[in-house]
Structures are given as C-alpha cells and as structure tokens.
Amino acid sequence: MRRGEELRQHILTRAKDVFLELGFERASMDTIAARADTTKRTLYAHFENKEELFLAVIDLVGGLLGEKLKNPSDYADDPIDALALFCGRYQKILVWGPAVRLCRLFTAVAERFPEGAARAYDAVFRTVQERMEEFLRSRFGLSRKRAALIAEQLMSRVFHPRVVRALFGIDPISEEWMDEAVVDPSFDPAPIREVILRIADPRTFK
C-alpha cells in the first residue's frame, strides 16, 4: 500500500493524465481519486482542492522537464556547441506529444485559472530561459541585461516555427520518446548557432 510521499507522487501522476485527457474544467476530484485508486478523503488529505492539485501537477511537470533538459554545461565543453545542443534538446521535448498537449492544457486554463497558467509558464519557459541566462553570463561574460536579451533571442529561435506549428496542429507530433538521441534528427542548429556566434564575435561588445 502506498503511503506518504509515494502516494502523493502517484496521485500527481494520475492527476496529470486526467487533466490531459479531460481538461481542467471537466476533470473532477472524483475521477482523479478513482484513477489513482484511492478515496476522495485521501485525495483531499493531500490536496485541499482541484486548483491546489493542478498547481502541484505543474510543479511535477517542471521537475520532469528539468531532469530531461539539465543545463547547457551538461552537453559539451565548447560553450557554442553546449548551447546549440541544449536548445535542440529543449525543442525536442516541446514537440513531443505529451509536452504539446500539456502546453495546450496550460494555455486553456489561462482565463479560468490565471495563477495556474502563470505557474506553468514559469515551470516550462521562464526557468529554462534563466538557465540560458546564467550560462551566458558565466561562459561568455555577458551582463545580466545582455544575457537576458540573448536568451530571449535563443528562445524565439527554438519556438519559431517548429514548436508553434506543432502547438497549432499544423505539423505532426511524435508520441515516441527516444532518449538516446539528444536532439531530434530534424533539428536545424543553424539559427541557434547564428545567434551564439554573434555573441562570440569580439565586435559584438564594441
């Protein structure tokens, strides 16, 4: 029998699946309790309401993203290669089927539950940009302001057009996750490297 933290994590995993399947509005605590094979009383002992449970699911997703993505320094010794691979890995995650559906779910709750949407944005996007900024400051010696600006450019190159097209259902999404491949074979690093090479050019700082 699951207890304590193990039970909480089990509930969160099942709740994530229910939210993805039914959306925030249609998902009920009854359904989540049933999918988690537990009682409503136990569910409410861990989470006061559906909103609190949804926020905890977002934190779970953010943690899983962090585990799969890691930091730029984990990819290569060369800082340009490291950032390019980091961005490629991030794009690969974002166009993966479950990730696309999660992003759609988080967008859908923006009007009904803005706190949840803001938490999701921080977990999936802001924290990743902050990792880029920290790497840019430490490895390229950029100021905080300039690192933020460059990180925004890198984020935009990751998203457009491939991730945007996937979110809108224009391009097919992959349901299979192949972890042995760091980046998707179709990932084009040229736009990313273009931004990074401008950073590395000494004339950039004039």
What is the structure's pLDDT at 1? 54
Of 62, 197, 205, the residue nearest 130 (C-alpha): 62
In this model, does residue 4 exceed pLDDT 90? Answer: no
CATH code of 1-47, in short, is 1.10.10.60
Of 33, 48, 55, 45, the residue nearest 4 (C-alpha): 45
**Residue type for position 32:** I
Dist CA 111 CA 62 (whole Å)? 21
In this model, does residue 204 exceed pLDDT 70? Answer: no
Say whether 58-205 and 1-47 share the same fold. Answer: no
In this model, does residue 11 exceed pLDDT 70? Answer: yes
What is the structure's pLDDT at 196? 86
In this model, does residue 38 exceed pLDDT 90? Answer: yes
State the pTM of this model: 0.91
- CA-to-CA separations, 156 to 122, 190, 197, in angstroms, rounded: 16, 14, 16
Residue with tokens 């224009």: 170
What is the structure's pLDDT at 2? 65
In this model, does residue 52 exceed pLDDT 90? Answer: yes
Contact 176, 182 (CB under 8 A): no
Mean residue pLDDT of the chain comes to 92
Contact 98, 21 (CB under 8 A): no
Please list the residues that pair with 96 across neighbouring strands. 174
What is the structure's pLDDT at 140? 92
Could you tell me the pLDDT band of residue 203, with boundaries at 50, 70 and 90? low
Per-domain boundaries in the chain: 1-47, 58-205
Between 75 and 179, the higher pLDDT residue: 75
Q: Which of 25-39, 42-56, 108-122, 185-199 has the lowest mean pLDDT?
A: 185-199
What is the structure's pLDDT at 133? 97
Could you tell me the pLDDT band of residue 205, with boundaries at 50, 70 and 90? very low
- Tell the CATH topology of 58-205: Tetracycline Repressor; domain 2 (1.10.357)
Contact 181, 72 (CB under 8 A): no
